[in-house]
Structure 1
Amino acid sequence: MADQPEEVRRLLEAIDALAAIEDDATCASAVTALLNDWPTHHARLREIRQERVLALRDSGRTWKEIGDLLGGVHASRAQQIAKGLRGTKRPVKGADE
């Protein structure tokens, strides 16, 4: 966690702080409130990432370089992110059985 940007560290610390709430009802209620709003926050994070990936591409970075900056994702995944495409989810094993 030490090599993460400060903002990422603060978010992870906030999650740890939620887990540390001693009262079970208070903790569960706080986590529920966060999870209820999470789809909006998740969508916004995806938008921010897409905007920045496009800016990196506009600045002359290759898809491979961008993928490496994103934590080692494949160049084709970096292109998908730039297009706003979501990754596909694999079906759960046994779901079709």
Structure 2
Amino acid sequence: MASEKKEVAPEVTKVIEAIAALSEIEDDAACTSAVSEILRRWPDLGSELRQLREKRVNNLRAGKRTWSEIADIIGDVTPERAQQISKGLSGAQRKKNKEAAERAAAEKAGK
């Protein structure tokens, strides 16, 4: 059974190629500077990407897509994770919520 290869958007390819191009910068100082600038901006860029994905996931849901269909579109996530993405819950936020719930349960059990 041959596995289907998912088509990659040209924008994704461009980002991957841009990152690969960094390693082709011959001057170590110039490469270090360029990579450092990207890493400084990454928290904001990552946040923008997460917000864009959240908005588009919600658009898909409003268009009557199921959580399973949306999970397949995202790739490598469960339908439950697709729902979490629609609510803007990052991995860090899910971990904080889980830890808070565990603390609350421990406090309740200790009373």
TM over 0.5: yes
Question: Partner letter of residue 81 of structure 1?
Answer: I
- The alpha-carbon deviation at position 10 of structure 1 amounts to 0.2
**Structure 1 residue 51 corresponds to structure 2 residue 55:** yes
Give the alignment's TM-score, normalised by structure 1.
0.86
Alignment correspondent of 1:75: 79
Instruction: Name the residue aligned to 2:39.
Output: 35
Counterpart of 1:4 in structure 2 is 8
Residue 2 of structure 1: CA displacement?
8.4
Moved over 2 A (4+): none
The answer for unaligned runs of 5 or more in structure 2 is: 96-111
Identity, % of aligned pairs? Answer: 48
CA gap 1:14/1:87 in 2 versus in 1, 3 angstroms:
same
RMSD across aligned C-alpha pairs, in angstroms? 1.9
> Aligned letter for 2:89?
L
Task: Flag the structure with higher helix content.
Answer: 2
Deviations 1:59-97 (A, max 9, x none): 00000100011013100000000000012588xxxxxxx
1:3 Cα offset (Å): 2.8
1:80 alignment partner AA:
Q
Q: Which ranges in structure 1 are unaligned for 5 or more consecutive residues?
A: 91-97
Question: Which one-letter code corresponds to 2:13 in the other structure?
Answer: R
The aligned amino acid for 1:50 is E
Per the normalisation by structure 2, the TM-score is: 0.76
Question: Within the alignment, does 1:65 sit opposite 2:69 as a pair?
Answer: yes
Residue 21 of structure 1, aligned match among 11, 25, 41: 25
